[in-house]
Amino acid sequence: MVDRPHDSWAEVYDYAYEASFGAMYQSLTNRTVQFVKDHACRGARILDLGAGTGRLSIPLAEEGFDVTAVDASKSMLDVLSNKDIGQKILKKNSLLQDLNLGQEFDVVLCVFSVFCYITEREYLRSALKNLCYHVKRDGFAFIDVPIHSAFADLRYNDQFIKRKVLVKNIDEHRNVYEYNEYISVLNLDEKKDYQDQFIIRYWEPDFILSELEEMGMHLAYDASLDFSGSGAHYFKLTW
């Protein structure tokens, strides 16, 4: 598989986000895990789409859920695997628009801006179809859709890490952006630099919800207020 977003800096991804967003990052994780605990039975089968380094997969597995983690970046999944001490989590390296696990889950998670990495409408529709395919008839999906203002530059500096994110609008009509990430990490007087570049797209929440509605999934609960300050809308969907 060709390089995917975050491949080049997967080893410092957790550190970069924890430093950049501080307590908000952990709070968002805690709120998401609690939401799942409140809405799913203990031991439920969970599919974590865009699982990354295991921000949700690992604590959910520790809570007794049966977790399958999917991510487009093999490097991110490698980090997850190293953190999954008991190897409780099944990992799958795949794009969402190509995914077919041949099974259904009680809960399908697709959060932390997964959809913005899909920039073509036909691929987004394939991704949404695949998401729906994996949700049991008595299960639910929990997704987020970033707000438009979240597509913005970011800078963070301390004595150990320097992080600069530049987000440039390259197609105003389609809301397509070029994302550039620059990170320098200082460890024991040794500096290591990382760089990444990829294309992202802002999708209107109503558009994604309407597509899912056509596929048979309906908005059961708008959880956006429960996740205030996250920079995204959160939706629970059921059949």
Taking phi first (over 0 means left), then psi (-120 to 50 degrees means alpha), and beta for anything else, what does residue 54 get?
left
Quick: pLDDT tens for 127-147. 999 999 999 999 999 999 999
List the Cα angle 135/238/42 in 5-degree steps: 65
- pLDDT given at position 1: 44
- pLDDT given at position 44: 98
- pLDDT given at position 3: 83
- pLDDT given at position 188: 74
CB atoms within 10 A of CB 52: 23
Average pLDDT for consecutive 10-residue bins of the chain (239 residues)?
A: 86 96 95 98 97 98 98 98 96 98 98 98 98 98 98 96 98 98 90 97 98 98 97 98
- What are the C-alpha distances in Å from 28 to residues 22, 36, 89, 97, 121? 11, 13, 21, 26, 28
Asked if 83 and 103 touch (Cβ cutoff 8 Å), the reply is no
One-letter amino acid at 22 equals G
